Structure 1
């Protein structure tokens, strides 16, 4: 057996007390806890019965650096990720300058290595078009060679189907997947509220669910025609889920994500007492009605939606503390995602298996990222989790610079106590 350098003792894995043996950053063995143990020279971490979970992967994060460091930077974003249970973070290209050339990619990676040399690991997402303008393809080869793990135009829908098709084809040359923000560019882009009864009562212009579903349908047809993969970002409505389910039944190479807020919140948040026109709940795509929320749970549970992602979108306080129509869209989610989605497991809404698939194996399979299943040879990426610890969401308890979340003041259950990546303790 390899020389053991870390042993985690008496951790609760799937309801059983286990000891985890690690060597050179890899899982060597997981076996039932022994009453006594000769640890030798290995470092011993006593879990005291805390829940052991594999580190999570978030394929949709905005870290804002370079250009918008007052909202978030690589250091603070990865700090939130570390305490949130994430070992792999994929960050979007809507920086200033846009991540449409290798030098910006290298800057992001240099910042990550400087501030968090032991992880979380950062995987930049390259811009799909130059300047995210949708007019000319970005230099995909240069971006891939610099370290980009995928390509996306992020929150700017690509109007030209021709350009989008070329992007999917060129990305495949580098074994990369295109991530699409599905939003028809003519139907209420970025208005932040669903078109329906709530938007009518509040007197706000809304975005219909069909704005998302139309683009989903386009991408499915392209993926089927090209026989190439396309990943659909932050799916929010039943119409989209139905289209994706139908496409997967035909074998189309389409994958999809949704977010914790589409599983747990509805447009009713905008009308809750004391939160009318609450800009913290302004997000794109917008929070939908209850039927869509239930559809997201169903689609995630049956595998129609492959994975979860936070769409972590931090903003400064003064940017959100303004009129609803001019406030930016986005919810800060890295700090709260684990507690929120584990709560769905606790309540029986999601199974543990769905939770693990959505946060670990599925996103890593789609984007070819390292994943821990606790099998021998897997990366020793895991954290100890206190399922019962309660904490209040506040500016002081969020590690991200972004405090913009409708959960402020809420009491959540479940906290990361310590986190290891490649066998090294990072928090």
Structure 2
């Protein structure tokens, strides 16, 4: 046999034990669970939580909270009482109190509530955040924190004053593929980053009712792309140029855009290209690519059934479609994001998303929208303190 000379003379049982690669985060969790290592578990009494809003993001957070042994869900605040009965039955929420927003004062006055999750419409965020912080509750808030930068800044200052975390939900930072890419970029594997591309195309097309209250494509969608670019390379841009268009008449009628392209220029010479659409008819298109002096690294679309390849006749290879929408594509990111927030509440971790970072992202998104509406290049001015802060 031509290969007999390569046969191992030592049994694999007498060779070093196999170690799972660091990328296999699910196996690492399995090992923790099997080991019953209490030092890696939160053995304190459950964290008392109240959640406001059970729409698109709120439903995802609710599913993670009710399954989490670290949490006692004390209150659900939602203004559609007609769905409460089904919600209680589906999730088994026998001891959870359901309220409308007009009775929310019960949440703030209840000392058993340690943390508040805000997933209600954007225009309600500031009121819930400020009242929760005033009551000394930790706060997890879907972006944006408030409707404008000044109000968001006031919320963060209040959080500092009461010494409670105010955590803005940039969930993509917790996606394993994106965080692995960032770690390799920050380790210098691709050298100096010359170009970063972020593609984010929505599926399915959101309803007009949602879009009317979303805050617009720049502050609803593109903030995630801006955060990805700045988070990966650790810089703030000095110039933004935007082209945007409304191909869908109903979106044009509400003075919003459905297709946006943005160029960001950074002090080090890095250029970011952001490609965003409200309507992708082939699935939820999410890609990230970084090109540098030493090479390229990218995170491509994921597929729910990723290991099946079909060949029929001469049509070539076919695969399962990419994930349909954000609840499935970022399911793990949402879970890990909430776990991180609970660690922050306990004091086990510092927030991965800092206040100055979310303010910076809002400032860039505002400049990008200004560029789209005026056709002008917008210069971004940062204070020395902002420039010197580590965007990590």
Both structures adopt the same fold (TM-score exceeding 0.5): no
**What is the TM-score when the length of structure 1 is the normalising length?**
0.28
Q: Tell me which of the two structures has the higher relative contact order, counting C-alpha pairs closer than 8 angstroms and 6 or more residues apart.
A: 1
Higher Rg of the two aligned structures: 2
Structure number having the greater helix percentage: 2
**What is the TM-score when the length of structure 2 is the normalising length?**
0.30
